[in-house]
Amino acid sequence: MNAAGTLSITADRLLGRLRALGQIGRDSEGRLTRLAASEADKAGRDAVAGWMEAAGLEVVVDRIGNLFGLWRGGEAGLAPVMVGSHIDTVIDAGILDGCYGVLAGLEAVETLRDAGIVPPRSVVVAAFTNEEGVRYAPDMMGSLVYAGGLPVETALASVGTDGTVLGEELARIGYAGAQAPGFLTPHAYVELHIEQGPVLEREGLRIGAVENLQGISWQRVTIEGIANHAGTTPMAMRRDAGLAAARVVTFLRDRVARGNAPTVATVGCMSFAPNAINVIPSRAVFTVDLRDPDEARLREEEQALASWLKHLEAEEGVTISVERLARFAPVAFDQGIVGMVERAVSRRGLSARRMTSGAGHDAQMMARICPTAMIFVPSIDGISHNPRECTAEADLVAGANVLLDTLGQLSAASARC
């Protein structure tokens, strides 16, 4: 209890587990990499499942490998409240992304149990499979399958960047469960996460009440030109795939910079062939990541890119093809839960603002099947997907306490979103 009589989480337990999980999956150079369905992922799952069992939760795994800790409520027939995130990581990761939401959810449940509270609604702590999408595509796979957006058979047949098959790897590590994805339809889903951006820290705020999430458009662009000698081919006579690719990058940057909208555009991967210093590139392959919280604007940016590529194709004498990799519409979160988060923040005497998530999260998929919202805490210097990812311990505890309060309300029989 705090001075006002409100329940508070056990900070040392939460922070200790974050540090412990953050040591699982480190290589000989100390880099943390826990890719989906890898040996490191198995070790992380084993640790989390062990903590769930120790807390008195029933551990359940579904066919796509999603890991759940179920705390049964006092009234049968009421839909459960779900909290969670993921524990898989990018390559050379920090210790908080995803893991914080899972372990803070577990901590909130333990705090309620320790206080002798048995809520009418059951509570489920979820660790979704392959949120990052580093080894298998698409990202947010486990929650997407759970929400019915991707057939489980299709997901299990996914071939990884290392040639492995996801279903076979889940079986190998012992996390190919028997339950059908979506076996429980939640009353509500809440995800606590580090912001992974600079807004809260820049504004000196402790909590973000996330009210919506940007739409995401991923495409792979291939430009075919003609390889030729770098020294003997005049500039005006080249069909330079590399130059054309560079023009796409600058087009995107200039277009977004001229606009008065929160649109962001990123070329994150690029490769040339034959990739020789003295040969004009005959091929350029690169990705384009477009994001905007407004569907109409996102479609407008996609169309602008498509028009520019047609223009570029004619002007540079190249051939351009585009492959759609992923497309997720913007998500508006449940206003009732967002307001509940704000009231919890106010009762705790914390500072907050409503905000948009620029990153994709499992909550994006869960919003398809139940009322959903997110809670953010600041990221120091806005850094994530990086070993320097860090959030002040006081902020980690504050966010977990806001999650605790929100979970307590949602799991009450009278709670309505």
Residue ranges at the known binding site for Zn(2+)? 86, 97, 132, 193, 385
Tokens of 309: 């590529």
Residue-wise DSSP of 104-165: HHHHHHHHHHHTT---SS-EEEEEES-SS-SSSSSTTHHHHHHTTSS-HHHHHTPBPTTS-B
Contacts of 293 (CB under 8 A, 6+ apart): 212, 213, 214, 215, 262, 330, 356
Based on its alpha-carbon atoms, the radius of gyration of the chain, rounded to whole angstroms, reads: 23
User: What is the enclosing helix (H) or strand (E) of 43?
Assistant: helix 39-54
Place of tokens 């469960």: 177
- Supply the DSSP symbol for 380: G
What sign does the dihedral 401-407-409-411 (CA atoms) show? negative
Alpha carbons 361 and 168: distance in angstroms, whole number: 25
Q: How far is 261 from 246, CA to CA, in rounded Å?
A: 24
Residues pairing with 320 in the sheet:
223
Amino acid found at 312: L
Q: Tokens standing for 97?
A: 């992304």
State the Cα–Cα distance between residues 389 and 302, nearest whole angstrom. Answer: 31
- Pair type for strands 270-273 and 283-292: antiparallel
Three-state DSSP class for residue 168: helix
Rounded to whole angstroms, the Cα distance separating 180 from 162 reads 27
Residue 26 DSSP symbol: B
Indicate the burial class of 13 (C-beta count within 10 angstroms; 0-12, 13-18, 19 or more): middle
Exposure string over 218-231, b if 16+ CB within 10 A, otherwise e: bbebebbbbbbeee
280 contacts 228 by C-beta, under 8 angstroms: yes
Which positions make up the binding site?
86, 97, 132, 193, 385
Q: What is the DSSP letter of 260?
A: S
What amino acid is encoded at 347 in this protein? R
| Assigned token pair, 294 | 């407004």
